[in-house]
Amino acid sequence: MEDYQLGFSSSTDNYSYKAKKGLSEELVKEISLRKKEPRWMLEIRLQALKQYLSMPIPDWGASLVDLHWDDLRYYLKPVEKPYQNWDEVPDSVRKVFDLMGVPEAEKSMLAGVGGQYDSEVIYHSLQDLLAKKGVLFLSMDEGLKQYPEIVRKYFGKIVPPGDNKLAALNTAVWSGGSFVYVPKGVRVDLPLQAYFRINAENAGQFERTMIIVEEAASAHYIEGCSAPAFASASLHAAVVEVIVEEGAKMRYTTVQNWYKTVYNLVTKRAIVAKDGVMEWVDCNLGSKVTMKYPSCLLMGERACGEMLSISVAGAGQHQDTGAKMIHLAPNTTSRIVSKSISKNGGRSSYRGQIKMVRAAEGAHSKVVCDALILDHQSRSDTYPNNQILNGSSTLEHEAYVSRVSEEQILYLMSRGLTQKEAEGIIIRGFLEPIIQELPMEYAVELNRLIKLEMVGSVG
C-alpha cells in the first residue's frame, strides 16, 4: 500500500456534526432536519429506510461479509456550508484538495468544480459564462433548496429506492452529490468536475447526483474518488440519475481510486430519449470491492448508449463491474467495451445485461469483454445476460481472456526493455483504446496510477 499516494487524512475533531455509529430512523430525521428539507423529501427518506431494512444484503456478486454495517458513521458534516472561494475553505480540508491538485486543475481545464468531503460538498464553482446561459452546477443539497420542483420531478424516478438495497440506503441517508442542469441547446464543452473524498474512518459516503441534459444540449461530467489509508472498511454507496432528452449528448466519466478498504457499491442509470446519446466511461482502480453496473434505458427511437470501462483488480480486490443496456424503442443502439486486469490474486468480473423488448425493432448492440490476467493466482469471470424479445434486433458478444506470458516479457527484454517497462507497455497497450477516450490530463493521471499499480506484478 506504500504506493497509494492519496492515503493522507486530516482530523475530524472540528467537524460541525458527526453522527454516532449505526443507522436509525432518528438519524434519518436528524439529517433531513439539519438540511431543512421539504417534508416530501423526509417522507421519501423514511419510506426508503423501511425498504432498506426489509431487503437482504445482496449475495449474488462480490462478498460483503467484511463490511460491518453497524460500525459505519452514516453522516459526517465537516463544514457548515459549501464555499465558492478556496481561500474560505478551512485549512484542514483545503490542504487535502491542494494535495490532490484540485484548485490547480480548476484554473486550467474545467468548466466547473465541486468538492465533496465525507458527507458534504465543501466547494463549488462554475464559469460565469455558463451560469449566464442557464447552466446549473450545484451540490444536490443546494439543488433541492433552489430548484425543488425539478428535483422532485426526477428524484428516485430513474433509480427507485426499491431497485436494490444500496439504492434504498442511499435514498434514506443521501447527502451531497452534484445537481447538473444544462438547458435546451446549450453545449458545455469543458468538463464539469466533481471530487469525492472520504476523510473520516469508518465513514459512509452517500452522495446523490442528478444530471439533466435538455434537448440538443451536451455536457461532460467527470468524477474522481479517493480516500485515506485506513485499515477498517468504509462504504461509498452513491446513486446517480441522468436524464438525456431528445437529441442531447451526455458523457459521464469516473476515475475511481478509493483506498483498498473501501466498499464501492454504486447505482448509476440514465434514461435516454429519441436520438439522445449517453456515454459512461468508468475506470475502477481502487476499492476493496466494487459493484457497479451503469445502465442506459434507451427510451426513444435511435437512442444510443455506450459504456467503456477499465477495471484493475490487485491483491485483496474484487472488481465486479459491468453495464446494462435496456432497449425499449426501435433502432436503438448500444456498445459495451469492458477491459479488466487481474493481478496478484485479484478478481475481476464482468456482469452485463442486454435487453431488447418487442418494441425495440431493429436494435443493435455490441459487447466486447477483454480480460488480461497477469499471474496464476488471479481470476477473471464473465456473466453476460442477454434477452432479445424481437426478431429484428442483433447482438454481438465477444469475450477474450489473455494472459501475459513469460515469453512476451522475455521478447521485450531481449530488445532492451526492463521487466517493468515490458509489463508496462503490454498493459498500456491493452488499455489504450479506453484511455484515449479520456481528457488528456486524466489519461496522464490514469497512466501514472496504472504504472504505480503494476510495479513488479507479473509473477
Partner 1 sequence: MKITNLTVTVLGKQVLSEMDLQIGVGEVHVLMGVNGSGKSSLAMTLMGDSRYQISDASKVQYLGQDLLKLSSDERARVGLYVSWQNPTAIPGVSVFNLCKASYGAMGNKIDKLIDFKKKLEELALTVGLTREHINRNVNEGFSGGERKRLELMQLLLLKPKLAILDEIDSGLDREGLKIVREIVSEIKEEGRSALIITHNEKLLEKMVITKIWKITN
Binding-site ranges for partner 1 (CB under 8 A) = 402, 405, 407-408, 410-419, 421-422, 425-426, 428-430, 432
Q: How far is the CB of 310 from partner 1 (least distance, A)?
A: 13
User: 19 vs 422, which CB is nearer to partner 1?
Assistant: 422
Q: How far is the CB of 371 from partner 1 (least distance, A)?
A: 12
Taking a C-beta distance cutoff of 8 angstroms, is the pair 115, 185 a contact? no
Q: How far is the CB of 286 from partner 1 (least distance, A)?
A: 23
CA dihedral 92, 93, 97, 100 (to 10 degrees): 60
User: 11 vs 414, which CB is nearer to partner 1?
Assistant: 414
Q: How far is the CB of 425 from partner 1 (least distance, A)?
A: 6
User: 413 vs 452, which CB is nearer to partner 1?
Assistant: 413
Name the one residue in this structure whose C-alpha cell is 434507451.
298
Q: How far is the CB of 449 from partner 1 (least distance, A)?
A: 18
User: 56 vs 416, which CB is nearer to partner 1?
Assistant: 416
CA 62 to chain centre: 17
Residues 6+ apart with CB under 8 A from 338: 307, 309, 311, 321, 322, 323, 350, 352, 367, 368, 369, 370
CA distance 303 to 272: 6
CA distance 296 to 271: 6
Taking a C-beta distance cutoff of 8 angstroms, is the pair 313, 457 a contact? no
* Closest residue by Cα to residue 229 from 5, 40, 422, 449: 5
Q: How far is the CB of 30 from partner 1 (least distance, A)?
A: 52
User: 104 vs 398, which CB is nearer to partner 1?
Assistant: 398
User: 53 vs 410, which CB is nearer to partner 1?
Assistant: 410
Q: What's phi and psi for 288, nearest 5 deg?
A: -85, -50
CB atoms within 10 A of CB 249: 19
Taking a C-beta distance cutoff of 8 angstroms, is the pair 355, 327 a contact? yes
